[in-house]
């Protein structure tokens, strides 16, 4: 017999997976293709988000580094200046995170292109974008909405990485040579 809590967790997990799958069916895949086209041509790519969206951004930045593309996280001490030819990828479910919108605005002021991944295309963050990529997570419960957004965004960016890896013809030896070894 399965304990009640275990069954509740299983059901909650299935519910989240179902919600994520539904959002994935409605994602702006064309926008992700356009982003995949931009990244290899960018001088540098900066990734930003706050909270869990920030963790997704960092994860994506790591994947870009694995692909041999220069990627940075604003605010880190080793992050260079942004300028023309660079891209900032900013992520926020609601698009109202002040820190993320501020960095998007600054990046544009310095001549970088700004790509925003959000569930809210009419948000303050989206207003700072050169390109908005919609990940249409919608739920009255902001915690569930944000979780679905973050997971769907992570999956979309992993898919984008897989396409980039194929386009760039990244071999496993080159990938592993760039993978962290001070673990």
User: Which residues are known to be catalytic?
Assistant: 150
How far apart (Å, rounded) are the C-alpha atoms in residues 54 and 52?
Answer: 5
How far apart (Å, rounded) are the C-alpha atoms in residues 114 and 141?
Answer: 29
Please say whether the beta carbons of 137 and 120 come within 8 A: no
Torsion angle, alpha carbons of 127, 125, 118, 68, to 10 = 100
Residue 85 burial (CB count, 10 A): 12
Question: Token digits for 108?
Answer: 């544009």
Query: First vs last Cα of the chain: how many Å apart?
Result: 41
Question: Token digits for 169?
Answer: 């013809």
Please say whether the beta carbons of 171 and 119 come within 8 A: no
């Amino acid at each position: 017999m399965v304990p009640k809590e275990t069954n509740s967790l299983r059901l909650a997990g299935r519910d989240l997976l179902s919600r994520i799958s539904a959002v994935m069916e409605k994602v702006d895949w064309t926008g992700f293709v356009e982003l995949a086209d931009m990244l290899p041509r960018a001088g540098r790519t900066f990734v930003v988000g706050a909270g869990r969206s920030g963790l997704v951004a960092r994860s994506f930045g790591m994947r870009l580094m694995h692909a041999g593309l220069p990627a940075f996280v604003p605010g880190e001490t080793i992050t260079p200046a942004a300028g023309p030819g660079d891209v900032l990828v900013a992520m926020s479910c609601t698009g109202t995170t002040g820190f993320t919108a501020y960095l998007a605005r600054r990046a544009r002021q310095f001549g970088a292109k700004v790509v925003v991944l959000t569930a809210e295309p009419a948000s303050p963050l989206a207003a700072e974008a050169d390109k908005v990529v919609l990940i249409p997570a919608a739920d009255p419960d902001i915690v569930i909405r944000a979780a679905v957004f973050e997971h769907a965004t992570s999956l979309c960016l992993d898919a984008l990485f897989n396409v980039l890896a194929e386009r760039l013809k990244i071999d496993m030896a080159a990938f592993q040579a760039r993978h962290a070894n001070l673990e």
